[in-house]
Structure 1
Amino acid sequence: MVSNIRMEYNISINRCVRLILLHKSVFYYTPKERGDELLRMRMKEIAATRVRYGFWRIYILLRREGFMDNHKRVYRVYCEEGLNLRSKRPKRSRCAAHRQPALGNASSLHECWSMDFVTDQLYDGSRFRALTVVDNYSRKCLAIYAGKSLKGSDVVGVLG
């Protein structure tokens, strides 16, 4: 803004800055870029070793190690790295660990399969379950086994 006014009216920087009610240091200020690669690396290491540590615990550990970044900057990097923890674990999977790396994509047929139990209800209200086995590479359904109640022996029979 100062540059535009200065070029258009051919006036000095001091006069232009006073005209728009700014301090002269604002015009001459150049931001200093600080890299946060070291901070990112250390945060990832802490998050990998201490899976259940949230932002504040990681921040305190970083301060103890000598990082003098304020909590706002550390929180920004924490969120950018995707280290956010859910405040509560879902009730249906209490034993599920967080921050586990995703499984690699399958590169050929029959390399990686997925199986799941699905349930549905008939028109008369009776429920049934189905075991589905899917190949992750081709997304092809390899087996479906349906029944009112599925036992471990049924699963072994489908997979065997």
Structure 2
Amino acid sequence: MSERRACRVLGFDRTTIRYRSSRDDSALRERMRALAQTRRRFGYRRLHILLRQEGVVINRKRTQRVYRELGLTVRQRRGRKRAVGTRAPILAAAAPNARWSLDFVHDQLADGRRFRVLNIIDDATKRCRAAVVDTSISGRRVVRELTALVARHGKPDLMVSDNGIEFTSNAVLAWCAQTGIAWHYIAPGKPMQNGICEAFNGRMRDELLNETLFRSLDHARACVADWIEDYNTARPHSALGYLSPAAYAATFTATGARLRNPDQLRRAPLAPTAGNRQTHAAALLPAG
């Protein structure tokens, strides 16, 4: 059947069939391609946030359409493991310095030498307090780094880590007794009890370690420092309403209570956050 007869039978105007958009997306395409090359592991949602921050006010669906047309879809590196059984609720920090999480992530240099990164995360603001890069990090080194962090940012109420020998060493135990900071060790074989730091390690591996060839230890330290600075101050975080950790931390008062000013608590332009947030100054709250 011809197009003319088909449109007449269905009651369609032929102009709807032959319509071609005259909208010019060339500038948007070039900018999105440039952002995607810089942020190789960002999807269209975070690219949309970055465009909005630059003053490009467009609809999210338009961003998604151009993103797909440019073939910028991020390839998933591995299948996601599905949890089985009943999940127990974890404690969620409700104020800065209520809880810090620690964990190691490993990688290697171009010459095959391996190195480690000690990541220390503030669970409430998702801010990375420190990322220590070295070939060997002992319990004494962990204590030195924590002492320096406490002097700069204040003393946390609780530290959370796995049962690695660096965290269970005599140096760490003596430091906890001296400072009065409580230290909680997760159950063996249960990394999701330290899920916030594990999620941070996954982002670091996906966006930095897997994307960079490190020539030397100094090069690795410089790259990690630049990525941490960008993560804390510029990278939009979905769990924080697509604010950066530094911007989200600015919504807390000195007593740890959340501010209620709408200008300081601007909402995510795409979708609501993952869960309801508490606005009082309790240190730890049960979250499902």
The TM-score normalised by the length of structure 1 is 0.36
The TM-score normalised by the length of structure 2 is 0.23
Q: Which has the higher contact order (CA 8 A, sep 6+)?
A: 2
| Structure with larger Rg | 1
